[in-house]
């Protein structure tokens, strides 16, 4: 498999990650313990109707979609909260 076949997938995931970080910034008044779940729920919504295919094969089943949202939400939360802590957000 060529890397070029996966570039659209990577671009979408990076876009969703950026959206999760932006969402974190909007949650300033939300209690800290609710922010991570809110970011994960936002990302889950972003992935809900996305049905990526590679070589004609659908690669995102419901379980993978939920795991992907959890992973990307965790990364977005960790990165955004650390940048905020450093004053670099």
Q: What is the pLDDT along the chain (89 residues), one digit of tens a residue?
A: 888 888 999 999 999 999 999 999 999 899 989 999 999 999 999 999 999 999 999 999 999 999 999 999 999 999 999 999 898 75
Structure tokens at 2: 């060529």
C-alpha 87/C-alpha 25 separation (Å) is 12
C-alpha 72/C-alpha 41 separation (Å) is 11
Query: pTM of the prediction?
Result: 0.87
pLDDT at site 2: 87
């Amino acid at each position: 498999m060529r890397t070029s076949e996966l570039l659209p997938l990577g671009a979408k995931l990076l876009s969703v990650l950026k959206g999760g970080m932006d969402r974190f910034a909007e949650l300033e008044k939300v209690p800290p313990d609710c922010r991570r779940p809110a970011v994960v729920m936002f990302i889950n919504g972003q992935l809900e109707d996305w049905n990526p295919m590679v070589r004609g094969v659908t690669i995102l089943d419901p379980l993978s979609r939920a795991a992907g949202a959890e992973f990307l939400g965790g990364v977005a939360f960790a990165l955004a909260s650390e940048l905020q802590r450093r004053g670099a957000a």
